[in-house]
Structure 1
Amino acid sequence: MAQIYGYVRVSSIDQNEERQIVELSKRNVLSRNIYIDKQSGKSFERPQYKKLIKKLKHGDLLYILSIDRLGRNYLEIQEQWRMLTKEKGVDICVIDMPLLDTRNGKDLMGTFIADLVLQILSFVAQNERENIRKRQAQGIAVAKAKGIKFGRPEIALPENFGELVHDWEKKKIPLPEVLELCKMSKATFYRKLREYRLLEQK
């Protein structure tokens, strides 16, 4: 008997997958048949998707919210769609794009339209991601040019840093006390100490 499945992917552990799950539930996808992958932006390992692929059989129906859930670029989306629909004989319904529902138009014209829409949408999805990356890079470059610093703010040295270092080296005060007075971790203290000594040499 044919089964109904759903696949959810979010590109960061901070993103909420709830919207995708709600949309799948509206279409009577059982929670046990919903496969969810969370990952960082750099990684595209999809263990749950791989499990889902093994589970899918000819005639099953797979729901996804949007076409970019299938892959990270134009070619990958195309390849996954071909593998699912042609090799495994699975029907796919893309919730955000009703034209991409392989249950409709099984004739030559219907297949042609679905394939055409798929190509356009997967191209648009990749193009949009690339534009977002460009805008982010441009924004960072502009911010840096304005002197905006990224990352953790630099910890300022206390005015008596030299004295504290001297007393610590002479074993007059223990390191934990120096760290407390400087409000630094041990790693930061040693890094600042190296920088301080380099400045002294100049």
Structure 2
Amino acid sequence: MTTSRVYAYLRASTKEQDATRAIEALQKFAIEYGYTIASEFIENESGASLKRPQLFALLKVAQPGDILLVEQVDRLSRLNADDWQALRQTISRKGIRVVAIDLPTSHKLLKTGDEFTGRMFEALNSMMLDMLAAIARKDYTDRRRRQAEGISKAKAEGAYKGRPVNDKLHEQIRTWYEAGKSKSEIHRLTGAARTTINKVLEA
């Protein structure tokens, strides 16, 4: 029986998105390979930023041979080349194995075997991780470029109105505030950014 632990990392880019969406898929995947998830690290931060407290909390507790499990490689990284290499070096120094449901070559790292086969799959998986991370970054930059082009065009046509207001979230903020909750408690309860909370309550 393996003594390696599996840590699930779940990420969504904004507070409005559900970062826990993939937890059932990760749990099912781990069970299929004879593992249980030791702990889940969940955060709402951009994959294009290295400022991800929960990811680095995971890397801090993980030991050599442990597994960092993600649904897709882009949950781990939409980083630029330099930041991706910095993250990869941290993972490599710790001896942590990255397994992604959408990367079949990584699944082999969940099975014990002879040293040669294990090293071959680690090398192959490393190459595939780098390739998918590069694709994820390109997808991110392409999307940002298209968004910027769309906004510029809408502004030129006088049709740009900015990000739509989340009326439901704003109502929750006001309701909790009227119930006597502090701004910090409202932030914890709703997940709304503090700037949003301030804006709603000052309106």
Normalising by the smaller structure, the TM-score range is 0.5 to 0.7
- 2:58 aligns to what? 52
What is the percentage of aligned positions where both structures have the same residue? Answer: 30
Which whole-Å CA distance do the structure 2 matches of 1:42 and 1:74 have between them? 7
Which whole-Å CA distance do the structure 2 matches of 1:77 and 1:35 have between them? 19
- 1:82 aligns to what? 89
- 2:6 aligns to what? 4
The alignment status of 1:66 with 2:72, answered yes or no, reads: yes
Amino acid at match of 2:23: I
- Unpaired segments of 5 or more residues in structure 2? 112-116, 164-201
Which whole-Å CA distance do the structure 2 matches of 1:107 and 1:44 have between them? 28
Q: Indicate conservation of the 8 Å contact 1:13/1:40, yes or no.
A: no
The alignment status of 1:145 with 2:156, answered yes or no, reads: yes
Which whole-Å CA distance do the structure 1 matches of 2:7 and 2:78 have between them? 21
| Residue 128 to residue 25, structure 1, CA distance change in 2 (3 Å) | same
Amino acid at match of 1:106: G
| Residue 2 to residue 101, structure 1, CA distance change in 2 (3 Å) | same
Q: How many residues align?
A: 153
- TM-fit CA distance, 1:102: 6.1
Bigger RCO (CA 8 Å, 6+ sep):
2
TM-score by length of 1: 0.64
Q: Which runs of 4+ in 1 moved over 4 A?
A: 29-32, 40-44
| Residue 71 to residue 106, structure 1, CA distance change in 2 (3 Å) | same
- TM-fit CA distance, 1:42: 8.3
- Provide the alpha-carbon RMSD of the alignment: 2.9
| Residue 15 to residue 30, structure 1, CA distance change in 2 (3 Å) | farther
